[in-house]
Chains A and B, each alone.
Chain A
Amino acid sequence: MSMMKIGGWIKRILVLIFALVYLAPLYIAVVNAVKPYDEIIKSPLTLPKQFTLNNFVEAYQSSNMLELYKNSIVITVSSVALLILLTSMAAYIIARRKGKVYQMLYVFSLAGIMIPPVVTLIPSIKTLSALHLLYTMPGLLLFYAGTYFSTTIFLYVGFIKTIPASLDESAFIDGANPFTTFFRIIFPLIKPCTATAIIFLGMWIWNDFLNPMYILGFRGGKTITTGIYNAIGAYTSMWNLVFANVMLASLPIIILYLCMQKMFMQGLTSGAVKG
């Protein structure tokens, strides 16, 4: 074997070791989620001697898990859909039009990235309350649409700029109105960017706990993240239950990521970075 090849193999093995160590905390969470409490105290690192699913059952029963999942899914899917719709449309105009006004509009739209998280919560609650949307899911959707607008438009504008404007022109000449041009021609072409946006937004919204906690409040229901935050808060040292809750909240999104990996890598590689 040449020096290059040996070097290549050494590199791969070292990286693999790093990756395995990197995942170790997750291993700990998984392995301890299926152990009874006493075994965790005695031997936190080993594979379970007394494999049990009781922790999951208890975690499932103590919060209304099915409803939590349902709420999280509904909120995440609708928020992401709303965001993609509103932002891609706005990004299309900003990417295509020339002129100082549109440049300034773009910079204005990016301000959101620099705004610290807690600034917007209280005023938004007041606004939602005035609109009779507080403690409701539509209210939370609108809040997310406003909050993640900046990051999403940043992704879209960069990507749309890589699509030649000549496509728009030919569509216009063929008599299409802007809606048709955008939805029939441009939107399908920016799929990789949409895929990236779906994954990032989906991740952030699914994992968010502060905003749903205050906007849905006590009566609006809980998401899976606020639900486990609530459950874990009560048992900071019942580690078996903590880890079972953690697993119940994280497994769906880990599985989703593993399934969508290819599309996601494609999306990032094809152009999100070109901005």
Chain B
Amino acid sequence: MKHNKLYDTLFLAPGFLVYIIFMIIPVIMCFLYSFTNWDGISASFRFIGLKNFVNLFQDASFFQALKVTLIIMVLTTLIYNILGIILAALLNDTGKLLGFSRSAIFIPTVLSAVVVAFIWSYVMQTNGGVINAIIEMFGGTKVDFYATPMTTIFMISGIICWNSLGFFVVIYISTLTTIPQEIYEACKVDGAGWFYRFFHITLPLLAPGITINCILSVAGGLKQYDHVKVITGGGPGGATQTVTLFGVEKAFEYNRRGYSSAAIIILFIIIVIFSIVQLAISKKHEVEY
């Protein structure tokens, strides 16, 4: 069938044009800036080669940001996918109660990061917060979630998960519905228990869903900006700063746009590497039935 190239171009052009102008070109510019000493506001700058990258590798606060980002990414990915699969398995059934539960778990997903961060800031307050009020009601001692950077990071990860867990549960539920019931029937006839069914049939067949969700949650976790910005602003003392926050700070507070661009490019490369690795692993494990 002969395809009219003109029509093809008309179909492709508008979308790709906007995409290139607003996404691709900025990334290319970011890549170019990372080799300069631009301060973000002057008209001139110099090319300084790999100096920014060298400095980044000697910058303790950059490594702290990387560490924070990776911890958040790992925590959120684990919770989204482990808890997500368990909940999806539990919720993948009929009934009004389950229907209500499904909706309930998804509702926080439609809330914005700002809203979620404000509500949880209130709930987690050390003095007068809801969680501590409940703990004290039962006679326990107050918990200070902001006590150390680690506890703060755990708290932030929990809040992020609360926001988006529903999204992943829903994707898992829909993946589960594509698994034909016959397979389970065949298993039950063979006398397989719930445990066996789950680990040897459900999980492998969930593989495509797991891949997508892992790629999305890993990329999302690494890009993390909104929630941390509103909850702690990266503090105290930059202890909960993610790489994106680090980049923004270097660009706008320190007037080091080139340096900031280098940090973001490194983050981009990390995201790409993680995505490629995950795709490669999933291709190996995908089960056809």
Contact = CB atoms under 8 A, between A and B. Distances in A.
Chain A in direct contact with chain B (Cβ < 8 angstroms)? yes
B119 A229 contact: no
A15 B100 CA distance: 10
B118 A246 contact: yes
Contacts of B113: 207, 209
Interface string B88-103: 0011010101101101
A60 interface: no
B147 interface: no
Contacts of B106: 257
A185 to B, nearest CB: 14
Contacts of B212: 273, 275
B258 interface: no
Contacts of B115: 207, 228, 246, 249-250
B22 A127 contact: yes
A97 B108 contact: no
* Prevailing SS type, chain B contact patch: helix
Nearest to B106: A257
Given A12-B95, A120-B22, A273-B175, A210 B226 contact: yes
B65 interface: no
A163 interface: no
Interface stretch (B51-59, B70-78, B120-128): B120-128
B134 A45 contact: yes
Interface string B21-48: 1111111011000000000000000000
Interface string A110-132: 01111111111111100100000
Given A93-B8, A116-B268, A273-B174, A150 B162 contact: no
Interface in A212-254: 225, 228-229, 232, 239, 242-243, 246, 249-250, 253-254
Nearest to B13: A90
B80 interface: no
Contacts of A208: 112
A105 B12 CA distance: 10
Contacts of A145: 15, 18-19, 22
Contact of A89 (B11, B24, B27, B272): B11
Interface in A60-101: 86-87, 89-90, 92-94, 97
Given A15-B101, A273-B212, A111 B264 contact: no
Given A44-B128, A123-B26, A207 B111 contact: yes
A90 B86 CA distance: 37
A142 B22 contact: yes
A28 B123 contact: yes
B104 interface: yes
A89 B15 contact: yes
- Residue of A28, A114, A269, A273 with highest tally of chain B CB at under 10 A: A114
Interface string A169-211: 1001000011100100000000000000000000100111110
B86 to A, nearest CB: 10
A119 B123 contact: no
A93 B114 contact: no
B11 A169 contact: no
B107 interface: yes
A68 to B, nearest CB: 13
**Would you list the 7 A-B pairs with minimal beta carbon distance, nearest first?**
A146-B22, A207-B112, A86-B15, A123-B26, A90-B15, A19-B101, A19-B104
28 contacts: A8-B93, A12-B97, A16-B97, A19-B105, A22-B162, A25-B119, A28-B123, A86-B18, A87-B15, A89-B11, A97-B3, A111-B27, A116-B267, A116-B271, A117-B223, A118-B247, A119-B264, A124-B22, A142-B22, A147-B23, A149-B16, A168-B1, A207-B110, A207-B111, A207-B112, A229-B114, A246-B119, A273-B212
Given A92-B11, A249-B115, 9 more contacts: A25-B162, A116-B223, A117-B225, A120-B27, A177-B4, A208-B112, A239-B122, A273-B171, A273-B208
Interface of A: 8, 11-16, 18-20, 22-23, 25-26, 28-29, 41, 44-45, 86-87, 89-90, 92-94, 97, 105, 109, 111-124, 127, 142-143, 145-147, 149-150, 153, 168-169, 172, 177-179, 182, 203, 206-210, 225, 228-229, 232, 239, 242-243, 246, 249-250, 253-254, 256-258, 261, 265, 268-269, 272-273, 275
